[in-house]
Each structure stands twice: as C-alpha cells, then as structure tokens.
Structure 1
Amino acid sequence: MADANPLQLSLYHPRGCLSASVQALWVASASESHAVEAWLPGDIGSGIVFNLTNTIAINQQPFETGVILQPVSKDSALLAMPAGSVMAGMRFHPAVGYGVMNRLCDTPTPLVANTVFEHALLSLFKQLSASTGPYAKMNSLYRWLKIHLRFSEQIPPSLASALNALSLAEGLNPDTLTISQRQLERQFQRWLGVTPKQAARILRVKRTREALKQSHAPLVDIALSQGFSDQAHMTREFKQIAKVTPYGYVKRVRGRYSE
C-alpha cells in the first residue's frame, strides 16, 4: 500500500531579528518505502542544505551527505530523494546569501570549509545528523542562526529598496533611484548574478504561483492580474522559469497528479 504522503515537510518562518534575513527553516524526509521527487521553485533566493542520510540529486547532479550551498534560484530545480532520505536547510531572502557567504555559486556546490562561519556549518551538520525528529532539527537550525548568522557585507540600501519594489510588483522608477541605472545593474549582478529585468521576471512568476494556488479564477484573468499581456505570455514566462505550464502547476498543487 502506497504512503499517503511520501514526503514529510516541516517549515518554520522565523519572526523577530531573523525574519529580515531568513525566509524559512525546513526539514524534509522521504518515507522508508518510497523515493520522492519535488520541484524547488525559483525566487532569486539562495540557501544552505544539509543532506543527512542518502545521496540525493538536484537536476540529476548527485550529492553525497554533507553541506550544499544553493545558488541564487533563477528557475525551478528538480530534487530527487531516495527512500529514507532526510534533509534540512535554511532559505535566505534575496541577496542575503551573498552578504553572509561573500560569494555566489553558479550551481549547487558541496561546502569546502575555509572560514570560521563555514566550519561552523560543518559542526551544525554533525549536530543535525545526531538529532532525532524534525522538531529537534528545526530547533538546532534556529539556535545556530541566532548565534552565527552575521553579514560579512551589508546589502546596499539602493539594492534593498529595488528588491522591495520588485517583490511588491511596483517596478523600478528611474526618477526615484538613489544611484544610476548602471550602478544598480552592477549591484544586482554582484549580489544576485541576475539583471534587474531578470529579477523582475522571476519574482512575477513567483507571485503568479501564489495566485494560482489561492485562486480558482480563469487563467486569463490571473494572467492579466499579474501584469502579463495575455494568457499566452504568462504561459511562456511561467514554463521557462517554473518548468511547467500554469495549468500543469495548478493540477500539481491541487494533488490531481504527481510529476
């Protein structure tokens, strides 16, 4: 008999001082009898993954147990977890990963510790491996971040303001920029590895995903409400970044089938 839900996912969205830097802490496990595939959405955020048990794969690239640095997510990535796998992680808001790690990864990258912070991540991996159950692991993540999360470089106010405007679908008004457009583009490339235009496209698809989950409105209405010129425009953008059509995404999240 198949498990009702072969993937068990625990999420915690921090409040207080961590909330400005950390989107979520999470613990995921695959059932002992079933492998799991799940899509990791693109949102220009980055993170740190702790692979605690088995060799997993991200976009078909295998990763053994250890700490994995996640790149800025420009599109959806396919995670494959063998039966019995256990993982945990922390997901940062856009640009925070660079501010903390002082580097960007082009692809998921196993951690080779060189700094005090990175050695502390390896110690956290050992602690997570020894702890039992999702609550204990989540508590370890939270306590570790409260002690160790520090910025090696602060996010420039101009970049933070631009990211906030894009996340709210306000767009970038050249008249309100405190630096030149070219300077802002350099900041985006340095901190996120994308242009402002690319960031806007990715964040619009992120908002569209939320709209599709929450609304039963016709797709054409959702397309127009999210600023697309028509449904076909939404479908092209959505499929390029989310790796599935809007219709396919709706079926997936409503449990009609599993991809």
Structure 2
Amino acid sequence: MSQPSGQLSAFVQGVWSASVRQPVPIVKPLYSDAGSGIIFNLVGEVMIGNETLPEGVIMLAINKQTENIVLQSGAQLSGIRFHPAICYGVLGQHYDKPTLLLPEEDQLYNLYRVYNDLRIQKDIERRIETLHRWADKNLDFTKVIPGPLKKALMHIDQDETPGQLSASIDLSQRQIERIFKLWLEMTPKHYQRILRVKKTISFLRTYKKANLADVAHQFGFSDQAHMTREFRTFACITPGQIE
C-alpha cells in the first residue's frame, strides 16, 4: 500500500495493488475503521465476507465490522481507501454491501477508464501510480465534507466524548447525530467505539506482549472484560488473538 502525500493524505488512507502468485488463497482481516473505498477487481476470484466480487469496479460499504478478504491464486486487484465520511462526499451515496458499478452508471469519474488502464499495467507500482494520477486529477477535496463534521471527526480522534462535541463545534447533539447518520451511517458514539478498537488493535500489533488490563485502561475501556466485548463486536476476535 502506498501512503498518499500532500492534500491527498487528508482524505485517502491508502492506494494499493495486489497480485496473488502463490498456489493457495491469501486470507486477510479487514479491521473495522468506518472507512470505505473502491476496488478494481482486475482478474480472478475475490471474496469479502460472504460476498464474491465480480471483475470490474466495486464500490465498498462502510466498514463497520471486521470481515475477511479472500484472494484466490491468480487474483489481481487494486484499490483506493478513503478516510471515514470521505467516500460519501466523493460518490454521493452509500452502499450496503460490495456493489458492482455498472458501466452505464459510471458518469462521474470514468472509473472504467481507470479499470482498463490498470488491466493493461502488469507492474504493481505502475498500477499504484495510475491510481494516484487519477485521484490527483479527478477528486476535488476542497469541500468534500462539511466543516462541522470535519471538526467533529477531529475532536473524536482526540478522545473527546460525543457529549463534549456540542461545545467544541457549536452544534446541538441532535444536529451532530444527524450529520453522522447522513455521512457515516452511524452515531458519533458508534464511530468512537470503532475508532477506539482500531487504535487498540494498532497498539497490540506493535506491542504484542503488552498487559491487556493496562491496555484496556490506556485506551479508555472500563476494564479488560469491556475491551474484550468491544473487540468481539467490531473485530470479531479477542485482544489476545491480534497478530
């Protein structure tokens, strides 16, 4: 995965490409992060959860719970991953599951032109460069999400509680919840829970021998049992199973 730079980094988590040459499938967890994105399934069999992805341009649902992605031998795909709320701002709608974009629906960004360019490229780095060029040329992020939502996401990322947001961004709690429902399909509290588990997973992947009771306290869970319940809800595993 390539980490975007400059203005793009504020809106895009990563641009990536993969090619499976080994004879057995690759299985990876897609940990919940409230983000979304676009997959260009170039060739081969790919599954996310129970959904088999057809070849073509696939619009992803908001990632609210961890699912496995399964890449069969010979699969080739590329993608762009947006930060939370950005995909709705770019595409103007939500998807409830991985959904094939039909060519006749591809009016806004000419994604199938990108898809065809990616299929021609055989080198992963060239495919990533192609996606970077497309994003830089076609995506206008100057007003992609409303200012109050941008501020709310920033304050929650800094561990403010949803109840504190009203004072921080000068909107009522009900107004804030309406914005989150529209742009992220969840409440601020639900988003905060996902974010807390995501941060904890990142920590545990780095510090594999950390004391779980201490980790629970560090990341704001009421206790280790609470952390385990939240992990089962959003990551579908326990903290001790993080690899």
Pairwise TM-score range, normalised by the shorter structure: over 0.9
User: What is residue 244 of structure 1 aligned with on the other side?
Assistant: 237
The match for 1:222 is 215
Task: Report what 2:61 is aligned to.
Answer: 71
Q: Deviations over 1:12-57 (max 9, x none)?
A: 1111121111110011222241111111111111100011111211
The one-letter code matched in structure 1 to 2:145 is: I
One-letter amino acid of the counterpart of residue 116, structure 1? Q
> Alignment identity in percent?
38
Give distance in 2, aligned partners of 1:107 and 1:200.
22
Alignment match of 1:22 (pick from 12, 22, 29): 12
Query: 2: distance between equivalents of 1:182 and 1:156?
Result: 16
Show the counterpart of 2:138. Answer: 148
Task: Give SS of 2:43's match.
Answer: coil
* 1:184 and 2:193 aligned: no
Q: Following TM superposition, by how much is the alpha carbon of 1:71 offset from its aligned partner in structure 2, in angstroms?
A: 1.2
Q: Secondary structure at the match of 1:98?
A: helix
1:63 CA drift (Å): 1.4
Please name the residue that 1:88 is paired with.
78
| Aligned counterpart for 2:108 among listed residues 86, 105, 117 | 117
**CA–CA separation in structure 2 for the residues paired with 1:55 and 1:222:** 38
CA RMSD, aligned part only? Answer: 1.5
> 2: distance between equivalents of 1:160 and 1:189?
14
Check conservation: 1:117, 1:148, Cα contact below 8 A: no
CA distance in 1 between partners of 2:231 and 2:185 (Å): 20
Q: Does 1:107 align with 2:97?
A: yes
TM-score between the two structures when normalised by the length of structure 1: 0.88
Shift of 1:60: 1.7
Q: CA separation in 2, counterparts of 1:175 and 1:153?
A: 23
In 1, Cα distance between the equivalents of 2:54 and 2:97? Answer: 15
Q: Distance in 1 between matches of 2:136 and 2:169?
A: 33
CA–CA distance in structure 2, aligned partners of residues 104 and 176 of structure 1: 28
Which deviates the most, 29-38 or 149-158? Answer: 149-158
* Match for residue 44 of structure 1 among 23, 31, 34: 34
Structure 2 Cα separation of the partners of residues 19 and 50 of structure 1: 20
Partner amino acid, structure 1, of 2:92: N
In structure 2, do the counterparts of structure 1 residues 17 and 153 end up closer, same or farther at CA, with 3 Å as the change threshold? closer
| TM-score (normalised: structure 2) | 0.94
**Cα deviation, residue 152, structure 1:** 9.9
Q: Once the two structures are superposed, what CA deviation does each residue of 1:79-129 show, in whole Å capped at 9, x if it has no partner?
A: 1111111111000011110110000111111112425324x1111011111
Structure 2, unaligned runs of 5 or more = none
- Give the Å deviation of 1:146: 0.8
Count of residues in Structure 1 that have an aligned counterpart in Structure 2 = 239
Tell me, what secondary structure is at the counterpart of 1:25?
A: strand
What is the distance in 2 between the residues matched to 1:88 and 1:50?
Answer: 5
Please tell me the residue identity of whatever aligns with 1:97.
C
2-structure distance, mates of 1:13, 1:141: 12
